[in-house]
Structure 1
Amino acid sequence: MLIQSHHDIPYLANSSSRHKLDIYFPPISPATVPLVVYVHGGAWRTGDKSEFQKTAEGIIRASNYRLVVAVINYQLSNKDDESVRHPSHLLDTMAAVRFLITDQSYPGRSIVDHSRVYLVGHSAGAHLSTLMTLCPHLGFEHMQHIQGVLGIGGIYNIPKLLKYNSDYSDFIDMAFAPSQFADASPHHQAQNLHDQAQHVRFMIINSSQDELVPSEQATDFAGQLVSTGYNDITLIVRDLGGHDESLFNPKFWDIVVQFVFA
């Protein structure tokens, strides 16, 4: 079955390529289906939605064409422009998800069940997806629509990641001021149980073969969520390939589908 797609849909009223998204959906659906919003990684400084068509289409096929997948862009940090730092990436992610929930005209919208939205983030994208969910006080007013967050290879504790590899300061200092390291870490924010997010299910995944992010980022964060009082936490540490390789692994696509339809 041919998967339909539309590209470069603006989610903010400007012409920036960083404020656009791609959407993939089955050609025929007898009913409305959940929406998966994929947030790419790249250390907050690289990555583009165009790189993840295979991932989006793989998830839809694994679901037997029962999902719509949106892949978003957001502003990226660089050494020459300090204006794009935290929380710029986070606010863009929130804007894209808000658009997908509230806009009535984007392609495929007619089959999206906007009450069943799932965020799937990789690496820095997992950081953004989980942080958005744990910080409803930042102004995301549609938390009731977010049913689940799945992070793979995620960065949840910035200070601890720097202790693991001090060379990572090259990209972390580009995206965050030192005074933000703790508060911008999902691990830190998970210390506060937010009423608006208690219903959200979390799945935290790290491949045992991830060469860039240690599994303790995932295990520590999952433990923090449990100890704080979030009710539905799944932790998976298994061989899904390397840090980026795991995204194109059919086993990962199956895990996403099982999470959504659990």
Structure 2
Amino acid sequence: MDATREWLDAQYDARALVDDADAIIADWGARSDALRRDHPPLVISYGDDPRQAVDVYSPPPGGGTAPLVVFVHGGYWQALDKEHFGFLAEPFLTAGAVFASLDYRLVPDVAIADVIADVRAGIAELARRAGDFGVHPTGIGLVGHSAGGHLVAEAMTTDWAAHDLPADTIGPVVGISGLYDLEPIRRSYLNDVLAMSEQDAHDASPVHHTPTGPGPLLLTCGGGEPEEFDRQQRLLVDAWPGVPITTLEQEGGTHFDACTRLAMPGPLRDEAVPLLVRG
């Protein structure tokens, strides 16, 4: 793409474009703290680092095996954590699903390739331990926001046989304000920390990989977000013609409340929750 560094910086500086971004993030934390008091999660470790962990929220026992939905947070691969997003469990618990909020190591302590590997390893650990919390070990639903949208798309390209797991480990996926081509990220201010080479950005971009999971895939972003987020979605639709992909328009909305809407009555929750819970 032909764009200046200044233009890309403005397009991807999500916090600068939302006056109340810090208040929104603080609200995520407060709502998550309240939910954890009522639904203390089971913490699953999938590595030696404290961030290689998953919070697993389960609904009241209802008999049978429940679907599993895994959320992967954003933060441009360098911020936030699983505890901020426990509040998103509520609509999934109400629907009878188990909800897992997955954490991972952050850049610059590790490279983006390591972050991708962490997310794959976390999903694999959940699949292997499915019997511990009564969920299906296959057809796992994934949802990610921002960098998390990138990471769940990368999970769709995983060779699960390399993890001694079946090809259908992953089922439906939802990407919210995701990043699927990292070349413009490499050319923006974000790369001052991410330190990606051109090859790194190519190798970490879902648009350059072949999905192994069948989908379906739902993509959405806030209607008030910069045009780059809509373009990122269109790139993935064009790159993955074999996957059934739906794009959901959200009227208004910013990069941050595009995620919040998953827990609110409205089009995103109405489409995403049944998709992820029933496949």
Number of aligned positions between the proteins: 238
Task: Name 1:95's counterpart in structure 2.
Answer: 121
Partner AA of 2:260 in structure 1: F
Task: Name 2:247's counterpart in structure 1.
Answer: 235
Give TM-score scaled by structure 1 length: 0.81
Task: Name 2:99's counterpart in structure 1.
Answer: 69
Residue 34 of structure 1 and its aligned partner are, at CA, apart by 1.0
Task: Name 2:204's counterpart in structure 1.
Answer: 184
Partner AA of 1:67 in structure 2: A
Q: Determine if contact 1:59/1:253 at 8 Å carries over to the other structure.
A: no
Task: Name 1:6's counterpart in structure 2.
Answer: 41
Q: Determine if contact 1:35/1:117 at 8 Å carries over to the other structure.
A: yes
Specify every segment of 5 or more residues in structure 2 that has no aligned partner in the other structure, as ranges: 1-36
Match of 2:67 among 34, 56, 67: 34
Residue 206 of structure 1 and its aligned partner are, at CA, apart by 1.6
Task: Name 2:234's counterpart in structure 1.
Answer: 219
Residue 122 of structure 1 and its aligned partner are, at CA, apart by 0.9
Distance in 2, matches of 1:218 and 1:8, equals 32
Quickly say closer, same or farther: Cα 1:215–1:8, change in 2 above 3 A: same
1:38 match: secondary structure: strand
- The CA RMSD over aligned residues, in Å, is 2.5
Distance in 2, matches of 1:137 and 1:27, equals 30
Distance in 1, matches of 2:253 and 2:89, equals 18
1:235 match: secondary structure: strand
Specify every segment of 5 or more residues in structure 1 that has no aligned partner in the other structure, as ranges: none
Residue 118 of structure 1 and its aligned partner are, at CA, apart by 0.7
Task: Name 2:258's counterpart in structure 1.
Answer: 246
Residue 202 of structure 1 and its aligned partner are, at CA, apart by 1.3
Distance in 2, matches of 1:136 and 1:240, equals 37
Task: Name 1:167's counterpart in structure 2.
Answer: 189
Q: Determine if contact 2:82/2:103 at 8 Å carries over to the other structure.
A: yes
Residue 259 of structure 1 and its aligned partner are, at CA, apart by 1.6
Distance in 1, matches of 2:208 and 2:98, equals 32
Partner AA of 2:65 in structure 1: T
Residue 141 of structure 1 and its aligned partner are, at CA, apart by 4.2
Give TM-score scaled by structure 2 length: 0.76
Distance in 1, matches of 2:160 and 2:137, equals 21
Residue 154 of structure 1 and its aligned partner are, at CA, apart by 0.3
Residue 58 of structure 1 and its aligned partner are, at CA, apart by 3.5
Partner AA of 1:224 in structure 2: A
Task: Name 1:119's counterpart in structure 2.
Answer: 142
